[in-house]
């Protein structure tokens, strides 16, 4: 990594440290959350088209799985580093928590330049990567997805290779797939669409009319280009500047999405679009506009240029575009930042929807995906905005407070964590002999949040059994059901009885399935004791 550039993982740790101090986290929990639970470094020999074998290096980082299987994209980039991947995996952990979906955080990367590789070389690289990391991924372990310079086609190659390794099709192992392989409608523009939904809500709370609001978009990949398109279509934004890796363009009259995209597809860049002025990416960030959309890479708004940012709202479609020092400067100057792991969480939210659809083999139309994404993003935005107002902190710190509180509430202080296990292997205490609200042994007078259905194992007759316990109810009677139907059961809008544990027998090797149930009435301990719980994570 360039020593002159901020280290993204150090930034992620500093952001966590600030939230942990406010939340007064247990020191052990705080230290646990500062580091990835596990990471895999791989070396990938790939035969190139000219017959020479080239060696590539890649990573998969699984940061935290307290709330469920880890989830995160896979990047192909010539400047990829392990610290970048670690930071992105950490941010994925907070991202899934802030939008309240039952997943953890992960990220992957391969050091390569896909722009210089043929389709055949990319396919061989993609399959080689899955052959190396296949042992640690799966629907109940870790589910990759597209990211920088990876596409649905690359995801299709990876799914095919993984399925070949298993001996059967397992489409749910990767999201962002083509529709024909179990992809979800609405996934392509989900990152930008989620960001546009949060921008809409920001306009409401700030009293800013966004119709015709001048907007600059830095970065014209998936997130930036769809930010341009949907900003025009859904909010009536006036996009006056866009840029890509080669530079930017500006027109006070506005830039039509269809025409700009057609030009980029024809020429490879937005630079040179007729009737526009050329500008640099750095100049674009400092334009006098209402809305700024940083949609490229990390650390573009820093202590050096934050005082020059003139936008009223910064919509962070990119991951990590703003350093901690810049955050404080922007906050002091009244710039309303919609932080990255809230703003761009639409992608992982629809990926979660894809996992749910794969699990019960029923697929939704695009309008339903958009409706449910809107609901998730709107709820998450107002949770963060409310936290910021109550605590008097900037929005990124507020988002951390919401997310870290949810992750830290998953029993991270349990003995299993201390022994190197995880909350998904801990059936928790029994309600007998003084429950968690009785004030007796084992109780502290407040409910655990979120409640977990936890997986265990018994080796009877050589079979693996998945024992799903409701935390606090390990002694409950059990009911058998096919494992494949378990997610579908939770989709139903029925209450889960606190006295019911669900035992499923399967020959699957993975035993890490976790389903989180949160916000079950913390103010009403009696409701918890009665089992009046709602599986809200699957109420879609």
**Distances from the Cα of 375 to the Cαs of 111, 313, 383, 540, in angstroms?**
37, 21, 12, 9
**How far is it, in rounded angstroms, from Cα 186 to Cα 111?**
29
Dihedral over Cα of 533, 426, 136, 79: its sign: positive
- Beta bridge partners, 164, equal none
For strands 142-146 and 104-111, give the pairing. Answer: unpaired
**How far is it, in rounded angstroms, from Cα 417 to Cα 381?**
31
Which value, in Å, is the radius of gyration of the alpha carbons in the chain? 23
Half-sphere exposure of 179 toward its Cβ, with a 13 Å CA cutoff? 8
Instruction: Verify cis geometry, omega within 30 degrees of 0, for the bond prior to 450.
Output: yes
Burial (CB count within 10 angstroms: exposed 0-12, middle 13-18, buried 19+), residue 230: buried
- Check: CB of residue 492 under 8 Å from CB of residue 484: no
- Beta bridge partners, 76, equal 110
**How far is it, in rounded angstroms, from Cα 140 to Cα 126?**
21
**How far is it, in rounded angstroms, from Cα 468 to Cα 515?**
9
Q: What is the dihedral of CA 184, 187, 188, 190, to 10 degrees?
A: 160
- Check: CB of residue 419 under 8 Å from CB of residue 48: no
Burial (CB count within 10 angstroms: exposed 0-12, middle 13-18, buried 19+), residue 299: middle
**Whether residue 107 lies in the annotated active site:** yes
**How far is it, in rounded angstroms, from Cα 150 to Cα 268?**
17
Where does 37-138 have alpha helices with state H?
82-98, 119-133
Those residues whose C-beta lies under 8 Å from the C-beta of residue 399, and which sit 6 or more positions away, are: 94, 98, 339, 341, 342, 384, 387
Residue 305: how many other CB atoms lie within 10 Å:
14
Q: What DSSP string runs through 19-50?
A: HHHHHT--HHHHHHHTS-SEEEEEEEEEE-TT
Of 5, 24, 71, 107, which is the active-site residue? 107
Burial (CB count within 10 angstroms: exposed 0-12, middle 13-18, buried 19+), residue 75: buried
- Check: CB of residue 354 under 8 Å from CB of residue 184: yes
Q: What is the dihedral of CA 109, 350, 13, 517, to 10 degrees?
A: -130
Tokens of 219: 């970065």
- Check: CB of residue 281 under 8 Å from CB of residue 296: yes
- The residues that are catalytic are 107
């Amino acid at each position: 990594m360039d020593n002159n550039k901020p280290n993204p993982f150090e930034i992620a740790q500093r952001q966590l440290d600030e939230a942990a101090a406010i939340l007064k986290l247990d020191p052990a929990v705080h230290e646990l959350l500062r580091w990835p639970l596990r990471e895999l470094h791989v070396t990938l020999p790939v035969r190139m088209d000219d017959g020479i074998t080239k060696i590539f290096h890649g990573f998969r980082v699984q940061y935290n799985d307290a709330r469920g299987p880890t989830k995160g994209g896979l990047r192909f980039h010539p400047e990829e580093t392990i610290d970048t991947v670690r930071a992105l995996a950490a941010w994925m952990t907070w991202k899934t928590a802030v939008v309240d979906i039952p997943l953890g955080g992960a990220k992957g990367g391969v050091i390569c330049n896909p722009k210089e590789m043929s389709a055949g070389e990319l396919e061989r690289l993609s399959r080689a990567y899955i052959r190396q990391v296949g042992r640690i991924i799966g629907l109940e372990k870790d589910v990759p997805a597209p990211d920088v310079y990876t596409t649905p086609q690359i995801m299709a190659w990876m799914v095919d290779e993984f399925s070949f390794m298993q001996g059967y099709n397992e489409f749910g192992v990767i999201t962002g797939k083509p529709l024909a392989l179990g992809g979800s409608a609405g996934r392509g523009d989900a990152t930008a669409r989620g960001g546009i939904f949060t921008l809409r809500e920001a306009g409401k709370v700030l009293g800013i009319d966004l119709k015709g609001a001048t907007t600059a978009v830095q970065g014209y990949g998936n997130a930036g280009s769809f930010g341009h398109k949907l900003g025009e279509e859904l909010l009536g934004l006036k996009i006056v500047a866009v840029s890509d890796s080669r530079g930017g363009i500006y027109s006070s009259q506005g830039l039509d999405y269809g025409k700009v995209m057609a030009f980029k597809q024809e020429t490879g860049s937005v630079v040179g679009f007729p009737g526009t002025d050329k500008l640099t990416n750095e100049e674009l960030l400092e334009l006098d506009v209402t809305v700024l959309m940083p949609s490229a890479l990390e650390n573009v708004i820093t202590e050096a240029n934050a005082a020059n940012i003139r936008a009223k709202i910064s919509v962070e479609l990119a991951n990590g575009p703003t350093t901690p020092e810049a955050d404080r400067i922007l906050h002091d100057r009244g710039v309303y930042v919609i932080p990255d792991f809230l703003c761009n969480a639409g992608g992982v939210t629809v990926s979660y929807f894809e996992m749910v659809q794969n699990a019960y083999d029923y697929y939704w139309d695009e309008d339903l995906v958009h409706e449910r994404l809107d609901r998730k993003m709107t709820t998450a935005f107002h949770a963060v905005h409310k936290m910021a107002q109550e605590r008097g902190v900037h929005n990124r710190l507020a988002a951390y407070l919401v997310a870290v509180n949810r992750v830290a509430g998953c029993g991270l202080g349990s003995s299993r964590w201390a022994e190197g296990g995880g909350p998904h292997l801990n059936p928790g205490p029994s309600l007998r002999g003084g429950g968690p609200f009785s004030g007796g042994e084992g109780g502290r007078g407040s409910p655990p949040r979120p409640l977990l259905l936890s997986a265990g194992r018994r080796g009877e007759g050589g079979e693996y059994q998945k024992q799903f316990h409701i935390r606090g109810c390990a002694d409950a009677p059990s009911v058998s059901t096919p494992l494949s139907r378990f997610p579908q059961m939770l989709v139903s809008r029925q209450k889960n009885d606190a006295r019911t544990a669900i035992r499923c027998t399967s020959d699957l090797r993975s035993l890490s399935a976790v389903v989180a149930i949160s916000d079950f009435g913390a103010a009403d301990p009696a409701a918890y004791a009665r089992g009046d719980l709602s599986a809200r994570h699957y109420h879609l």
